[in-house]
């Protein structure tokens, strides 16, 4: 799946652009997902005007892994990172968007490495918990620690000494940025798990996030007054004996709030509130969105490329209706 952020086009033009890309690449509709968060998108697709081009180049320079494509009024696209704008033909678009063929299975019975490090791990865990598919092996420095069954929301500790929930959660949290996640087949999972005891996965991940300090990107978004909203009630096992957790759930289910709004409205400790938000986000119970408009008005002169892009995008959206 490719997450696409379209800038400079109204809703109708956006749908036409994405429809054409899907048709050219021969992909199903779900293969391209519209995205509203620049830090989460894989492809930034921008109308090619001087102002938007300059702003988009500035934004893309800070995100080397993100593709930048520019398009003209006719919908013809070219690579925005190329020094000489050469239009992408259908074959180039198809190669760029079509999923890569799966590599041959390794000889040792283990699967591909899916994630490495805290940021990749957070994104993938959220995705797999939502999809409820697949099996994986969690390791640190090549030492296997945990088998994961996403389909049944279960974890199998491989180290008997750390199998107690709190000890294992603390260990995983302390080593969060060093963890790697490796895909397993169902047969390989059953072979490794054998008759070892299973335990609920989400309460373990919830506690792991409470103990982890490797949340640089998440903390930056909270500092940008990100609005946190709860999608549904968490598993009650993660909130056992946590009165403040129930209060936060009740508030965030009613309306999105920033970190400081939660602490002010509920008179809570900011560190405990931050830890709750980390856990709810990692386990897929919450979503976080940085507002497009800052609370303070921007200065009248010498605005940066980031503010220019946000203002122009907002003006297009306001003329054409809400983001669909």
Q: Where are the domains of the chain?
A: 2-97, 113-211, 216-289
Of residues 24 and 134, more confidence is placed in 134
Mean pLDDT of 71-81: 81
pLDDT-based confidence at residue 120 (cuts at 50, 70, 90): confident
Per-residue pLDDT tens over the stretch 261-272: 999 999 999 999
Query: What is the pLDDT averaged over residues 81-110?
Result: 64
pLDDT, one tens digit per residue, over 278-302 is: 999 999 999 999 887 544 544 554 5
Output 106 or 99, whichever has higher pLDDT.
99
- Identify the residue whose tokens are 């509709």: 29
Q: Tokens standing for 190?
A: 């059953």
Mean pLDDT of 91-108: 60
What pLDDT, in 10s, does the model give residues 193-238?
A: 988 989 999 999 999 998 887 788 888 889 889 999 999 998 888 7
pLDDT reported for residue 14: 84
CA distance 214 to 174: 9
Asked if 181 and 138 count as a contact pair (C-beta separation under 8 A), the reply is yes
**CATH match for 2-97 among 3.40.720, 1.20.1070, 2.30.30, 3.40.50:** 3.40.50
Residue 259: predicted pLDDT? 95
- The pLDDT score that the predictor gives to residue 2 is 82
Instruction: Tell me if residue 34 falls in helix, strand or coil.
Output: strand
- What three-state secondary structure class fits 192? helix
pLDDT of res. 106 = 40
- pLDDT of residue 276 exceeding 90, the answer is yes
Report pLDDT for 293: 58
What is the pTM for the complete model shown? 0.57
Report the mean per-residue pLDDT for the chain: 81
Q: Is the pLDDT of residue 324 over 50?
A: no
Q: Confidence band (pLDDT; 50, 70, 90) for 107? A: very low
Place of tokens 């497009």: 292
Q: What is the mean pLDDT of residues 73-82?
A: 80
- 182 pLDDT exceeds 80? yes
d(CA 147, CA 250): 33
pLDDT of amino acid 59: 80
Cβ contact 36:314 at 8 Å:
no
- pLDDT surpassing 60 at residue 103: no
What Rg do the C-alpha atoms of the chain give, in angstroms?
22
Question: In the prediction, which pLDDT does 63 show?
Answer: 76
Give the list of residues 6+ apart from residue 129 with CB closer than 8 angstroms, or none: 150, 153, 201, 202, 205, 283, 284
Residue (of 130, 172, 154) closest to 285 by Cα position: 130
In terms of Cα–Cα distance, which of 28, 27, 17, 3 is closest to 76? 17
Count CB-CB contacts under 10 A for residue 317. 16
**Mean pLDDT value across residues 138-165:** 82
Task: Please give the C-alpha separations between residue 275 and each of 44, 203, 213, 214, 278, in angstroms, as whole numbers.
Answer: 31, 14, 9, 12, 5
């Amino acid at each position: 799946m490719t997450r696409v952020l379209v800038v400079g086009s109204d809703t109708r033009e956006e749908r036409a652009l994405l429809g054409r890309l899907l048709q050219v690449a021969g992909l199903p509709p779900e293969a391209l997902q519209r995205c509203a968060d620049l830090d989460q998108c894989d492809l930034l697709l921008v109308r090619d005007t001087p102002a938007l081009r300059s702003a988009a180049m500035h934004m893309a320079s800070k995100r080397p892994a993100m593709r930048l494509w520019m398009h003209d009024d006719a919908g013809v696209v070219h690579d925005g990172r190329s020094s000489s704008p050469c239009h992408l033909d259908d074959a180039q678009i198809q190669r760029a968007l079509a999923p890569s063929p799966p590599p041959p299975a390794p000889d040792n019975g283990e699967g591909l490495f899916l994630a490495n490090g805290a940021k990749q791990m957070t994104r993938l865990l959220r995705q797999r918990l939502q999809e409820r598919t697949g099996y994986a092996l969690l390791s640190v420095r090549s030492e296997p620690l945990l088998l994961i069954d996403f389909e049944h929301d279960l974890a199998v500790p491989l180290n008997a000494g750390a199998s107690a929930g709190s000890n294992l959660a603390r260990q995983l949290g302390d080593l969060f940025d060093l963890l790697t996640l490796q895909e397993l087949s169902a047969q390989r999972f059953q072979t490794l798990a054998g008759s070892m005891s299973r335990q609920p996965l989400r309460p373990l991940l919830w506690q792991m996030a409470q103990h982890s300090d490797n949340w640089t990107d998440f903390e930056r978004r909270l500092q940008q007054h990100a609005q946190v909203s709860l999608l549904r009630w968490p598993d009650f096992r993660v909130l056992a004996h946590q009165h403040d957790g129930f209060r936060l759930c009740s508030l965030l289910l009613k309306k999105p709030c920033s970190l400081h709004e939660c602490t002010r409205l509920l008179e809570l400790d900011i560190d405990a509130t931050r830890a709750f938000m980390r856990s709810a986000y990692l386990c897929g119970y919450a979503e976080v969105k940085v507002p497009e408009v800052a609370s303070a008005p921007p200065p009248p002169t010498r605005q940066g490329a980031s503010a220019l892009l946000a203002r122009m995008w907002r003006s297009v959206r306001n003329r054409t209706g809400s983001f669909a």
